[in-house]
Amino acid sequence: MTHFVYIRSEPQLWTTGFYKPDGTWEPDDDFPSPGQAGNRAAFLNGAGSIEKDNQIKVLEEEVKVLKKLIKTIDDAGLLATVNRLENSLIQAEQIIAAMDETAALAATRCDKLARMYEDGQEKEEEV
């Protein structure tokens, strides 16, 4: 007789199935919580329908998993927004630096033109 069990196949995944006589794992289905996997294994082993209390426990566990997922998604969304804002800030700082360089260059040229004008005025006075 086949006896169904469940194993943690990944960090957030439980798989129901059974071991063949030669030791080979034969998977049945995957679940996001051990409660769901346990209930499926019990059902496959002939336990029939799940009692109401067990159903509530399973649903409560599912809610916990979903809340963690929602938080992860929300955190990721906030992180993406922060990254976009940081990139915008960097671009703004680069623009300000370029404007400062342009202003310094313009001031130097104005000083040079003013000296040339003053030199020109002085030469006209000498003549």
Average pLDDT over the chain, rounded to whole?
82
3-state SS string for the chain: CCCCEEEEEECCEEEEEEECCCCCEEEEEEECCHHHHHHHHHHHHHHCCCCHHHHHHHHHHHHHHHHHHHHHHHHHHHHHHHHHHHHHHHHHHHHHHHHHHHHHHHHHHHHHHHHHHHHHHHHHHHC
Is the per-residue pLDDT at 7 higher than 90? Answer: yes
Q: Against a cut of 0.85, is the pTM above it?
A: no
User: For the segment 72-90, what is each residue's pLDDT rounded down to a tens digit?
Assistant: 877 777 777 777 878 887 8
